[in-house]
Structure 1
Amino acid sequence: MSLAIFDLDNTLLDLDSDHAWGEFLIEQGAVDATTYRDANERFYQQYQDGTLDIMAYLALALKPLAENTPEQLAAWHQQFMASKIEPHILTRGEELLARHRAKGDRLLIITATNRFITGPIAERLGVDDLIAVEPEIEAGHYTGRVVGTPSFREGKVERLDAWLAEEDVTLDGAWFYSDSHNDLPLLERVDHPVAVDPDDALREAATQRGWRILSLRD
């Protein structure tokens, strides 16, 4: 049995769930349309450029969790799953998960998107193990703050190392599938790095290193 690790956004999904959640909140009237969209787009561009300040972004992204009740958030997320996520789950991504599952591999999603958004998505995909940004919860309500190290860039490696130690699992023979150059630190750690529909920077790096390049898009 080996560990098969998957990025989520633009890898198993053909969109970025974090960005899509921001757009969904705008549609619900939960945030100011102009200021939130401007900030959401700016941070998304910074992510693509490799210049994102993750803590600055999370200050924006986690604020609506703190400003709304758990009941309202749960209702919104149910709508979000149906309208924004389900149509964007890649069939070939599910087939890839199934192939690793059939081999007896342990499946893990690791994402820079927070657990509130991604927990139900991982469950929908049948993946029990998830490493995500952890929003702080006090007395049953989100605070808008983060617990621990965000699972972003080198933070993914730090969080994965802690998970491996806790689960008594190794990276021997491990796979990691990702679309983003932001995941180079983790791709460089595994025996089987795979660039999935990669951005330009990751495609160049994968080509230079002789890594497999895969498309899960139709």
Structure 2
Amino acid sequence: MKKRCLVVDVDGTKYRWQLFHDWIAGMVQFGFLPKFVLARAEEELQAYRDRQGSFKDFLDVQLEAYQGHARLKGIRVRDAQWVAKQVIAEKGRRVHVFVRELMEHARDLGFMIAFISGSPLEVVEALAAEDDVDIVFGTEHPREGGYYTGGDPKVWAMAKHEALDIIVKEHGVDLSSSIAIGDSEGDIPVLERVAYPICFNPNETLYRAARASSNRWPVVIERKLVYVESWTERKMRKEAFLREILPEELGVALEARLRNLNLIP
């Protein structure tokens, strides 16, 4: 029997911030990576917050800072896993309520839950363990004998279509009844293949793609309240109900829960 799955992007979607950034900060805090790895990224982050730099510049600098020059080489994998657990113990509840509740209600209806993230596998697995996630993809750094080799990582964020193929083949998932949620253009290869795509707090590129899509992907915005948008045939914005963009049973239950939390009118 084919299974239904909810495929979730992590950084900026489930998790309110960038999970890999908090893991790197933890690796620096506990002495496994040098301080300048974080300092350079903080400069770019401040430039982004001051609207003097782009978020992509911050991400590029952050990734190069810890992945470049084989900086993980010689670090024990179990030490990195320990740091990941400390990060999740401290910050793992900093998640978006809509996505948290979507996952919980989907699981109650028998959906499998999958994470596909660009953050290191160690910290994605630590977060997934808190949520009973069934399938986890995170950036895989080569290892040998319990230590990182410093080799080039497998970055699943750049191959989400490939991860989705594995989910279908190895777990018997039916995409024609599955859901995906993401916040950036990197999630498009997943969103365009499922029956129920959700663009969550999308960046400009994904927002434009949602509007341009032949299926007019719905948009969910979470601020102090949760707003749901869809599109008319002329691609004009309109308010929508969750029951219209999700399997009806799930949408109705999720609407009731969010209303109880005073997140939707």
Distance 1:109 1:61 in 2: 28
Q: Matched residues in 2 for 1:146 and 1:72: separation?
A: 20
Asked if structure 1 preserves the Cα contact closer than 8 Å seen for 2:11 and 2:18, the reply is yes
Shift, 1:12, TM fit: 0.8
Give the drift of 1:216.
4.2
1:150 corresponds in structure 2 to 155
Residue 12 of structure 1 is matched in structure 2 by 14
Contact 1:46 1:52 in 2 (8 A): no
1:174 and 1:163 mapped to 2: Cα distance?
11
Alignment partner for residue 85 of structure 2, among 57, 66, 78?
78
**Alignment correspondent of 2:126:** 120
1:170 aligns with 2:178: no
Report if the CA contact (8 A) 2:117-2:156 is conserved: yes
Higher relative contact order (CA 8 A, sep 6+): 1
Alignment TM-score, normalising by the size of structure 1 = 0.81
Which structure 1 residue ranges, 4+ long, deviate > 6 Å from structure 2?
Answer: 43-47
- Which letter does structure 1 place at the counterpart of 2:101? E
CA distance in 1, matches of 2:70, 2:184: 23
- Range 122-131 or range 162-171, more displaced: 162-171
Per the alignment, residue 255 of structure 2 pairs with none
Task: Give 1:9 deviation, angstroms.
Answer: 0.9
Please tell me the residue identity of whatever aligns with 1:68: I
Work out the CA distance in 1 between the residues paired with 2:85 and 2:171. 31
Classify 1:172/1:57 alpha carbon distance in 2 versus 1 (closer, same or farther; 3 Å).
farther
Instruction: Name the CA shift for 1:172/1:132 in 2 (closer, same or farther; >3 Å).
Output: same
Consecutive unaligned residues of structure 2, counting only runs of 5 or more, are 225-265
Are 1:198 and 2:205 counterparts? no
**Matching residue within 13, 21, 24 for 1:22:** 24
Given residue 202 of structure 2, which amino acid in structure 1 is its aligned partner? P
What is the CA–CA distance in structure 2 between the aligned matches of 1:36 and 1:145, rounded to whole Å? 21
- Percent of aligned pairs with the same residue? 23
Amino acid at match of 2:115: I
Instruction: Give the equivalent residue in structure 2 for 1:48.
Output: 56
Amino acid at match of 2:137: I
Residues paired across the two proteins, number: 214
Instruction: Name stretches of at least 5 consecutive residues in structure 1 with no aligned partner.
Output: none
